[in-house]
Structure 1
Amino acid sequence: MTAPAGGPRLTSQRVWATLARQAFVVVGMVNRRGEGRSVGVSPAVDGDHVWFAAHGTDWKVDHLRHQPEVSLTVPVRRGGVLALVAPIPPATITCRATAQVLPVDRAPAAVRRRLLMGQDAEKAAAAGTVMVRLTPHGDFVTYGLGVSLRTMLDTERARGRVPVARG
């Protein structure tokens, strides 16, 4: 994508790096009745995957097993100290992804350490914990990433799009 003048200068690597620093993401999904649902989760990024932990009987896990195609939206805080006094919206990263529900031991060790917060993997599995691996695909669509706060006021210039695939 060619960025408009003054628009974002983004790369897939930069978007992945920003995503990896975030403590919260929103997963949008569809339930068995075709109704949209969303859930906020704490992510761990490993390679080209975004992971989160859940209990195997959670409603979100049921929805993901039924319909694994989801959307992933990541709010990215902007503004630093200025955000305390001015209504600065977050930047966002959005993409499509495919979810796969996996046993705890199938997640990489670094992902288990981050998401289980020191809990033993065997105990977590015995308690019903599962890992959800989201594999983004298509493009990252961004708003306000890689541009100044002033440029965020111009929605055309604040938008960006880069392939999910690195390279």
Structure 2
Amino acid sequence: MPQPETDRPAAGRPSLTTEQVWRALARQPFMVVAMVNRHGQGRSVGVTPAVHGDDLWFAASQRDWKVTHLRHQPEVSVTVPVRRGGLLALVAPIPPATVTFPATAQVLPVGDAPDDVRRRLLRGLTEPDAERGDVVMVRLTPHGDFVTYGLGVPLRVMADTERARGRVPVARA
């Protein structure tokens, strides 16, 4: 019986695992969260993530427009650029690989975030600043599939969009 397309890499496509994608996400210092505001207009924002378990977190001020939008519409799309190329990237225009996925956002008080997430995301803030209530934590829970581009393939394959794409389930086995 043939496997579903999402479980079987096409010829030349990356054979990534869910765990490999999670490990790549955990190493990244930046992600873009795309959302829709109350007027149906698309918005996106770059944030610094922290991975904990099967969630990605970021800190924000509760007065930020992004927090207002996420409280109104918690379904988002997330894209995480993954730097490629090492030293070669310093002299050649090598685009980043990407991981894109849908997620549900939840705005939480700082104290509801795991300790390691708070330490990573609140560096430089003093405890009174964090306790003032102005800072909140946003937990993004991915669902569906990770759609990848350029992850798990040699740099030369990134020019072939068909072979550079991949898809793996978000849920860990």
Percent identity, please.
71
Q: Tell me, what secondary structure is at the counterpart of 1:87? A: coil
Partner residue in 2 for 1:27: 33
Amino acid at match of 2:148: T
Q: TM-score, normalised by structure 1?
A: 0.97
Query: In 2, Cα distance between the equivalents of 1:82 and 1:133?
Result: 35
Q: Deviations over 1:64-95 (max 9, x none)?
A: 00000000100001111111111111000000
Gapped runs of 5+ residues in structure 1?
none
Q: How many residues align?
A: 167
Query: In 2, Cα distance between the equivalents of 1:131 and 1:122?
Result: 16
Partner residue in 2 for 1:153: 159
Q: Is the 8 A contact 2:109 2:133 kept in 1?
A: no
Q: Is the 8 A contact 1:105 1:121 kept in 2?
A: no
Q: Tell me, what secondary structure is at the counterpart of 2:130? A: helix
**Which stretches of structure 1, 4 residues or longer, exceed 3 Å deviation after superposition?**
118-123
Selected match of 2:130 from 109, 124, 133: 124
Amino acid at match of 1:89: P
Query: In 1, Cα distance between the equivalents of 2:37 and 2:71?
Result: 10
Relative to structure 2, which stretch is displaced further, 49-58 or 6-15? 6-15
Q: CA RMSD in A?
A: 1.1
Query: In 2, Cα distance between the equivalents of 1:77 and 1:124?
Result: 31
The equivalences for 1:18-167 within 5 A come to: 18-117=24-123, 119-121=125-127, 123-126=129-132, 128-167=134-173
CA positional deviation for 1:7:
1.5
Q: TM-score, normalised by structure 2?
A: 0.93
Partner residue in 1 for 2:20: 14
Gapped runs of 5+ residues in structure 2?
1-6
CA positional deviation for 1:4:
1.8
